[in-house]
Every structure is written in C-alpha cells, then in structure tokens.
Structure 1
Amino acid sequence: MKRPLLFIFTLLSTGLYAQEHFSGINTSRRTGIINAVVNPAELTNLKNDHEVNVLNLSVNVSNNKVKMSDLFDSDTDFEELIFSGSEPVNMSTDVEILGPAYAFKHEKWAFAVTTAAKIKANIIDVSPELGRALTTDPTITDAVDIINTNYNQRVSGTAWGEIGFSVARDIYVTEEHKISGGVTFKLLFPGSYANMSADQFKGRVTIGTDVVNHPENVGDMVLKDGEANLNFAYSGSLANGFNDMSNFTDFFAGGLNGFAADLGFNYRWKDVNSDDNGYKLNAGVSVRNLGKMTFKDDNNVSNNYTLAMQPGDELNLSQFEDVETIEEVEDLLLQSGLVTLDETNRDFKVKLPSVLSVYGDVKVYNQWYVTGFLQQKLNKANNNAQIAVQNVFTVTPRYSTEKFEAYVPFSTNEISGFTTGVGFRVGGFYMGSGSAITALISDSKQVDAYLGFRFGF
C-alpha cells in the first residue's frame, strides 16, 4: 500500500514546500483582506477605502521525522526515513490559494467578498511499524514488529473551494481607542476527499514462513493476530488515484454543499501622534472555520470494516505495495476474507479545521513592532470526519513603513517544532516564508513559501 499510504507526498512535486499560512504578513500593519482572513473584524482597519486582492498563494509542508539534510544528503528512500524509529508518524501538506477578492469600508462599516481554494493532506499518528511493513522490501528485515495502538491512525486528503461574504463594524470609538466586530459567512464547495484509517490497531508483522497453510505468503510481509476498526472513504477525483496532481485540484467540483462562519473582535489603541494611521497596540481574537460540508459525488463511498483475525490467519501486506486507489485496497481486504463490512454510506459530512486565533501587534519604537500570534485547534485530528490542523505560536519582530515592511517570524508548531523565516512587503506585493532560515542553517523538518499581490485605492 505504498502509494495510498503516501499519497500526500505527491504534493511535494509542486516544488513549493510548515504551518501557519502567510506567517508574518497576516498581521501586517498594512491592513488588508489577508488580515481579515485571520479576523473579519480587521476589515474596519483597512488602510484604503477600497481593497482588491489579486492572488495569494501559500504552500506548507511539515513532518516530525525527516530533516532537510536527510533529503539531500542521504541515499535512503523517503519511506524508510519517514517510518524510522518508534514515534508515530505525523505529516501535513497544506495549500491555500486566496483568489480574487474585494473589500471596502464606509464610515463605521466594512464589507468584503472573497474566494479561496484549499488542499489539506495529512498523515496522522501512523504506526511506523505498520508503515515499514507496507512500504519496505521484506528482504531488508526479518524482525517481528508488535503493533498495539489505542488511537486512530489516519491518512487523509481534502480539496475544496470557498466563497466568503464578510461584514464588520466599529462598536466603540474614541480618539485613542477602537473596538470592532466582524463575521464572515462562507459557502463551501467540496471538491474531492479520501480517508483511510485504522482505529485500535493490534497485530504482529513478520515475514511469512508457513509453507503448509500459507505457501503463497512465504517471503512476503504478513500480519498475524490482527485487530482493527477500519474506515475507507473517498469522493470525487481522489477516488481515481493519488499520483495525478490534478486529482487534488477539483476545488469546486461538488457544487454548493456546506456552510461555515468566522467570528472575531478587534481592539486598537491608536497612536494619536502618528501621521500614518498608526497604533500602539492592535489585538484581536477570532474563531474560524465553524462548519462542515457534505460530499455527494456519484462515486461517494464511506465503508467501515472490522478486522478480526483468528490464530493461524495471515494477511499478506506485500500485495498492497503497488495499488493506486482505496477501492483496490478494499477489494484485496475483502478477498482475504479477514474483514467484515459493518456500515456503508453514500453521502458523508466532513468538519472544517476549526481554530481559535489570538494575536497582538505592539509598537516598540518608531517603525518597529512585535507581534504575538496563537492558533489553537478546537477539534481532534484523529476523528475520521475531521480535516486536520496544527497548533501554532509565532512571535514576529518587524520593521514597517507605509511602503515597505520586513519581518522575521519565529514559530513553533506541534508537528515539526521550532522554525524561523523571513518576509518582506513592497507596496502591495509581498513574499516570505515561516521557515526559510531554519531550513537553510539547521535540520528543519518544515519548509514553506508564500507570495501575493493586492492593491488599494
């Protein structure tokens, strides 16, 4: 099952390689639509009366096993690196495209219409022993691996599109202080989806040697005494395979089939001595992605199975190495006679990655600022119906003027740990990374890049 288990790695072929999107620029003093993505209440702080977003692209990849130096200095295959050791494997690939958007403000009110396309693909708490058994040549090892997990292991991928309608209003305004609130209502367009999971997985992985009862498995990787609750679900183009990048890009293919909302509040302590609409403190709190979408494609499938092997049973794991679709995996399991179909559904709902965001940007001296940003997920990633997201904390010192901005974000996230990057803005164009510096000077387990252009009038 090498290809299905590692299908999210196909996203790496884009050449853009972390986990907070637009790290640093999303709390820029030059307030724009990208700030409102973090908190819709920021719309009342737009630098210009009208704001047009042309295009913003952010691509993030992080993992807890493979370092950058391993990729360039080692001859070891990637699957051997990612499934090394005994710690469960976690990896996240996250693509966000903020498309054409328009916002404007009038007196105490502000409004926006936005578009977005998103891809999220994850390996979540996968047992390295199971991963090695499914991807490693059996001639490499003859050891017996005992697997005993009390959680849900997942490999999942989701692509969808969004159209957002935002409104914000100043609630309290004085010469020095301002409080605003905002909300974004999102129309969700599910594109494609895939999930494979094994909950409460137990078993022994070894090389087949039973020439009497299972001669067909001799020399192959086999599972014995296996137990698990399995889920296989797919919808849209991801049902056709994982090696074609285009299968991840049918963002709006499923039509309108979901709704979500973002809610936020913003506080600004204005700098009355500033001549460029400056502030001493800009802080906010928001809850984002409250909602779910329903996949209703013609090829929809969500099947739950029970794996309950008896003494003497063997499941040949080597046979899964070259399959390309989840349906092929299911067929092989059913042919083995070792699984029981418990439940099947045609349509299924998937929850968005809900998060709580808290931030504060403080003026230190003249044009120098420091921002603190916290992102806390509100749902567990192990749930089969949940699109995963990471917890992130970032501190960003920045130098910011009306036309130019440079910043260095220092972040820590729950998968890859500490990273630091660099970014800049010239007018409405910006480019950066939340991990470029650590990727260059240390053994970072995360890489990302983003760029975008917007203008106001």
Structure 2
Amino acid sequence: MIKKAFLVLILLLSYTLQSQSFFGSQYDNYAGIYSVMNNPANIADSRFKSDINIVSGSFFAGSDYYAVKIGDLLSNSDFEAYAKKTPSDNNNLYTNVDFLGPSFLLNIDDNSTFGFFTRARGIGHASEINGLFLEKIQEDIEEDIDIQNQNFSIATNSWFEVGLSYARILFNNERHFIKGGGSVKYIGGLYSGYIKARNLSITYDYTGLELTNTTTTSGEIETGNISSLENFDDPIDNRGSGFGTDIGFTYELRTNESNANSSNAYNKYLVKFGVSVTDIGNIKFKEGEKVVYEADASYTDAEYAINDDFDSYYTRISESKSFNVSLPTALHFNADWNAYEKFYLNVNTDLNMNKETKPNSNYIKNTFSMTPRYESRWFSIYLPFSVVEDSGFLSGFGFRAGPITLGSGSLFNGLFGYSNAVDVHLGIKIPLYHTDK
C-alpha cells in the first residue's frame, strides 16, 4: 500500500506534465497577447494593431526532492535511475502547464485595446512530504517503516478559461504615462482531486508475507473527488464552473530623448513599472465529493490488494457534495529599464497569495527574476535569471523570431549540471505591427 502511495506522487507529475508560465517572454514589448496573462494593462499602447495567437504553451516542473540533467531526461526513460534525490522532512513537488489557444488583441484607437483569449491550465503539487519516507519506499518494501504526524497535501486541478480583456491609457502628459486594464473570464473546471493529511501516522510491519505485512494508520485524511489512492488519476466524474478576474496598472517615465518619436510603432519610456493581481476567483464543483475520514485502521497487504477504497478501512467524520477550488491568485511587480537603445533589463516578482497548506490549494511558486534582453520588431533574445521557491536559482535562454517564440528559464541549469526544475515555452502567432508614421 505504501509503495503505491508513492507511485501516486510520480503519477501526479506525469499526469499534469505541468511555477510560472512563459519565463522571460511576457515582458518583451512585442509579447502582444502573451502579456495579458500577467498584467492586462500591458496590451494598451502596444506595438501592435492586432496580435493573433495560434497556439502557445508552457510547461514547468520543480521540486526540492528531485534534480535532473536535461541529457538524461531526453535519453533515459527510467526516471528513478538518473534523478538525483535530496530527501528532507518537508519536501515539495510542483507542476504547472499553461496552454493559450485561439486568442487576439485588437487596438481600437490610440487609447484603448480589446483582447480575447482562450486558455487551458493545470497545476499539481505534493506539499510537505517526508522525503526520507519517499526514499525508502521507491523499491519493494522489505523493512519496517514508521512515519509520524504527517500533514502533507496532494492535489491536481485543471480548468479552461474564456476571457475578455480591456485596457486603456489613463493619463499622459508626455513625461508621465499611466495605463490600466482588466480581464474577466469564465472558468470551466475539468478535473479536481486532492488528499490532505492531518497528523497522520503510518507504521508498516514487514514480515515477508502479504498475508501478514501490516499497515497501521492513525490521524485524519480529507479527500476531494477521490475514493482511494489508486484512482487519483481517475477521480469521481465531475465538472466545475466559476468566474475569475485580473487587474493591472502600468506607469512609464518618459524623457525628451525616449519620447522623441510619437509613432505607436516605438517604445517611449526610460523606465516603466507594473503591478497586477491575477486569478481572483474560484471554481465550484457542485457534484464533487468532499469527505473527512478518521484514519485509525490496520490492514494487511493482501486485504489492500483486494479492496483499496478508503471507506473499507476508515470512518467518515463528515462529508459534503460540493467544494470550491481557489484560482492561483498572485501579486505581480515588474520594472523594465531601457538601458540603451534596444537593450533592456527587466526585474519581476510573482508572489503567491493563497495558503499552500490549505486542502486542495491552488497556487504559484514565489519567483524573483531578472532578465536582460535585446528586442526589435521582428527579433528578440532574452536571458532570464530566476530564483524560484523550492527550485532555487535558474538560468535560461529564449528568443522571438517573427511569429515564433521559444525558450526555457532553466536551460543552462540542466545542460551544465543537475537542475531542480525543468521548463519550456513555445508560441506561434500572427503579429500585425504598427508601422512608422
């Protein structure tokens, strides 16, 4: 039973195949519709008449337990054979996938811009897991195990979004420039399943025989939409719905030199600052099943092999037929400095605003990044340097060439050593730029 619980954690990563989206690329002045995801104000006074996304996506997986090399990841299918492990009393695993479907922005006039987007997202995590326990159970268990007072949580959530954005210039006196924007979005819940342990203790008495190998547990377990560890990837059939919103503002300091060309085809700031709050809202699963169990039980491997349902061993304390899942609400601060002509330096902070230990919590990982870049109308390159919660320091590379954007915020870590994170982003779109006056 205990080894199967570990396999669920691996499944959690492989199922979602998913902290942050589109590392380094969103703050390019030619990011277009991509920029609406972190700050909807950015689409106003953009360098585009219109920007049409065909398909784009990003994938991130990070952990303070596993570290991998990119070469091993691409050439070896046996993940456990090459992954480096750093067990502790409190390990965390996190995955995030983000797909942007058919979407566009349309410049209405010199002051206003309208956007429409479709998006599919998924976040999975295993939080506050005892890594020493995980390390022991990666092979067939042939020893006694005793783990006390665990408060881990395991959750996966996926949903789609259909949203509208509007942004406009709020103030402009040629030196000080302010714009604001917001997005409203319908949320369709696709999947939700979670387990939250409360003071859970697990003792495994190994005898060498399935009939007498015994697992004894005590404490509480809260579950959402699942009936056993074995069906974590196939939860109770259910769909959710809800609404969300994003809001943001951007300030630009302009000088006589930076503001020399009044054409919408050119950037005009020396430095700009942005602040935004994204993913305010939640998803309600009306027909979901939320159950709290008293997990005081004892059973053999043979019994568990026949029946693995929680109800077979644990006592229901409370239950309900619906539950809410918060969107991964985040606060973003951004500063962008035009250092020299087409060379820029961007500093960005993404801060989680949800409690990570809450049952079925949906959240981002706190991230600080610094990204120097060269940008022009048809070509940009960027070098993101980031510190991501639980994954540490990451460095990568990305570029934009006309309609294509490709990059990774952790590329150099994985190429030259072990990395606690792996990510990639790719986008294909049709840019329609403003032209010189």
Query: Normalization by structure 1: what TM-score?
Result: 0.82
Deviation at 1:63, TM superposition (A): 1.1
Specify the SS of the correspondent of 1:26.
coil
User: Percent of aligned pairs with the same residue?
Assistant: 24
Deviates more, 1:260-269 or 1:71-80: 71-80
Q: Please, which of 314, 318, 323 is the counterpart of residue 348 of structure 1?
A: 323
Q: Per-residue deviation at 1:272?
A: 1.1
Q: Which amino acid aligns with 1:272?
A: N
- Paired residue for 2:63? 63
C-alpha separation in 2, matches of 1:176 and 1:307: 64
Structure 2 counterpart of 1:172, which letter? F
Residue aligning to 2:266: 277
What code does the residue aligned with 1:145 have?
Answer: D
CA distance in structure 2 between the aligned counterparts of 1:82 and 1:383, rounded to whole angstroms:
29
The amino acid across from 1:413 in the alignment is V
The 2-side partners of 1:77 and 1:272 are apart by 53
C-alpha contact (below 8 Å) 1:133/1:205 kept by paired residues: no
Matches of 2:147 and 2:232 in 1, distance apart?
Answer: 30
Q: Is the 8 A contact 1:62 1:415 kept in 2?
A: yes
Q: Find the partner of 2:93 among 88, 91, 96.
A: 91
Q: How does 1:302-321 map to 2 (within 5 A)?
A: 302-308=290-296, 314-316=298-300
Which letter maps to 2:291?
A: N
Match of 2:251 among 250, 263, 267: 267
The structure 2 residue matched to 1:449, chosen from 417, 424, 427, is 424
Match of 1:234 in 2: 225
Tell me how far 1:71 sits from its aligned partner: 8.9
For residues 319 and 377 of structure 1, do their structure 2 counterparts lie closer, same or farther at Cα, with a shift above 3 Å needed?
farther
> Structure 2 matches for 1:45-64, cutoff 5 A?
45-64=45-64
SS at match of 1:131: helix
Shift of the 447–31 alpha-carbon distance from structure 1 to 2, 3 Å rule, reads closer
Question: Matched residues in 2 for 1:392 and 1:319: separation?
Answer: 45
Alignment match of 1:254 (pick from 239, 246, 254) = 239
Instruction: Report the equivalent of 2:103.
Output: 101
Query: 2:133 touches 2:147 (CA, 8 Å); kept in 1?
Result: no
Distance 2:190 2:106 in 1: 30
Does the residue aligned with 2:419 lie in a helix, a strand or coil? Answer: coil
- The answer for the alignment partner of 1:148 in structure 2 is 149
Which ranges in structure 1 are unaligned for 5 or more consecutive residues?
Answer: 210-214
RMSD of the TM alignment (CA)?
3.1
* Structure-2 change in CA distance of 1:131 and 1:223 (3 Å): farther
Contact 1:31/1:42 (<8 A) preserved: no
| d(CA) in 1 for partners of 2:148, 2:195 | 18
1:301 aligns with 2:303: no
- Match of 1:195? 194
Q: Point out where structure 2 has 5 or more consecutive residues left out of the alignment.
A: 433-437
**Alpha-carbon distance in 2 for matches of 1:22, 1:100:** 17
**What SS is found at the alignment partner of 1:24?**
coil
The answer as to whether partners of 1:41 and 1:183 remain within 8 angstroms in 2 is yes
* Helix, strand or coil at the partner of 1:6: helix
Please name the residue that 2:311 is paired with. 334
How far did 1:306 drift?
1.3
- C-alpha spacing 1:186/1:379, structure 2 compared with 1 (3 Å): same
CA distance in 2, matches of 1:319, 1:452: 50
Change (3 A) 1:206 1:185: same
**Aligned residues of 2:67 and 2:83 also touching (Cα < 8 A):** no
- Count how many residue pairs are aligned between Structure 1 and Structure 2: 417
Matches within 5 A, 1:288-437: 288-297=278-287, 300-308=288-296, 314-316=298-300, 329=308, 331=309, 333-336=310-313, 339-437=314-412
Corresponding residue for residue 113 of structure 1: 116
DSSP 3-state at the match of 1:49: strand
Number of the residue aligned with 1:212: none
**Residue 318 of structure 1: how far off its partner (Å):** 8.2
1:289-309 per-residue CA deviation (whole Å, 9 max, x = no partner) reads 010011235xx3221101235
Q: Is contact 1:161-1:190 (8 Å) kept?
A: yes
The runs of 4+ residues in structure 1 deviating greater than 4 Å are 73-77, 79-84, 132-135, 238-241, 317-320
- Preserved CA contact (<8 Å) 2:68 2:83: no
| Matched AA of 1:33 | I
Contact 2:155 2:360 in 1 (8 A): no
Taking the aligned partners of 2:361 and 2:137, their CA distance within structure 1 comes to 25
Deviations 1:355-375 (A, max 9, x none): 000011101112111100100
- CA deviations on 1:24-56 (whole Å, 9 max, x unpaired) are 111112141111111011121321122212111
How far apart are the structure 1 equivalents of 2:80 and 2:225? 26
1:88 CA displacement? 2.2
- Cα contact 2:67–2:85 (8 A) shared by 1: no
Deviation at residue 432 of structure 1 after TM alignment: 0.4
Tell me the equivalent position of 1:78: 80
